[in-house]
Structure 1
């Protein structure tokens, strides 16, 4: 069984912001799996599906980004899912808009949602899909930037990135992290 977590902030105010690309990707995945993320459990909204014969739980923590680990830990404990079967999808400002980077483990890299998940799971050993949202403009506050929305042009790139991230999730589950890294990392780099 896999737990697929999309990070973001709840409430309409944060819809479609850079920080909510994890939520957006999970919506695309839910559609692909013909399910909807509506059940309120584990301080989040969740749904169940199957990818490549494996049961999957889709989870959007509703704790706000900086406390995402509370929701992830509750779901992982309930379903007895090991960290290496928890795939976390989130925004990354060090990647170009729409670029993906898949890792099987690693530090938080300054991302507060990931920092909190690491703290709650007690390990960095969980796979993740970073979705590029572009670099913060100089002199702009980081919080303001990640809570801002994409231009129409960039939104088109992001919609493609969400579909690609969904494919990456499927490859990670059916063929493994390394196959997904080989196929998706560095894609779209200039």
Structure 2
């Protein structure tokens, strides 16, 4: 059994906040996979269902963000599970909007919801981090996370939530790198760079351009193979002289 806890704050006044992207994600998963109606339990709302043949409990803590651990910890203890059986979905200031990372363990990075869960479970649970971007200054953080997503954000946000829900079976199976690659393909049309796949904490996906369709990205190698734009190397002039010196060509 897997518990998937999406973090946010309860109440209609917070429903569209950037801080509530965790709630939005588990709502999307529940819709996509035909989960039960939401019910009150474990100081939160729960929905039950199966993904890929595995039993999954979706949880939205109603304790407010800063004490999310009370709800998540109660559910974990009730089912006698371990931290490895928990995935927490949350907003991430340190990732640009549209980027996704997933990892096991690590610090809370100042996120009060994670800090509370750490106190109840320890750190050895998986975190699905959904980028919302940083406003630039510490003073602007609270208005940013407690502010609603703008209309211009809706195209990339909707695509992201749909992709996360659609590919979530891979998370249930523990195939995190494959999940991130599929989400990237679904939202940007290009595969996850191999360097990102091998990086600590999981792969990152490129942000979808706000207000427009997902870009159909291609590597320079793929463009060259497909007859795309070629870079012409100069044969004369200052640039040519510099290249000759750099590569030792006379």
TM-score (norm. length: structure 1)? 0.92
State the secondary structure of the residue aligned to 1:161.
helix
CA contact (8 A) 1:45 1:60 kept: yes
Cα displacement (A) at 1:163: 2.0
For the 8 Å contact 1:95–1:134, the answer to whether it is kept is yes
1:187 aligns with 2:205: yes
What is the match of residue 171 of structure 2? 172
Post-superposition offset of 1:37: 4.9
For the residues of structure 1 that align with 2:37 and 2:106, how far apart are their CA atoms? 28
Query: C-alpha distance in 2, partners of 1:138/1:155?
Result: 24
CA contact (8 A) 1:7 1:23 kept: yes
Measure the CA separation in 1 of the matches of 2:109 and 2:168: 21
State the distance in 1 between where 2:18 and 2:142 align.
10
Q: Which runs of 5+ in 2 are unaligned?
A: 184-202, 209-250
Structure whose alpha-carbon radius of gyration is higher: 2
Separation in structure 2 between the aligned mates of residue 80 and residue 158 of structure 1, nearest angstrom: 35
Matched-pair contact (CA < 8 Å) for 1:127–1:177: no
Q: In the alignment, is the contact (CA less than 8 A) between 1:102 and 1:180 conserved in 2?
A: no
Moved more, 162-171 or 37-46: 162-171
1:146 and 2:164 correspond: no
Matches of 1:85 and 1:139, distance apart in 2: 34
* Structure with more contact order per residue of length (Cα contacts < 8 Å, sep ≥ 6): 1
- Tell me by how many angstroms 1:189 deviates: 5.3
- Segments ≥4 residues shifted beyond 4 Å: 181-184
Task: Please list, as runs of the form range in 1=range in 2, the aligned pairs for 1:27-66 lying within 5 A after superposition.
Answer: 27-66=27-66
Q: Is the 8 A contact 2:52 2:169 kept in 1?
A: yes
Structure 1 segments unaligned to the other structure (5+ residues): none
d(CA) in 1 for partners of 2:141, 2:174: 36
Return closer, same or farther for 1:98/1:178 CA change in 2, 3 Å cut-off. Answer: closer
Report the structure, 1 or 2, having the larger strand content.
1
| Aligned pairs, number | 189
Q: Which moved more, 1:130-139 or 1:148-157?
A: 130-139
CA-based RMSD of the aligned residues comes to 1.8
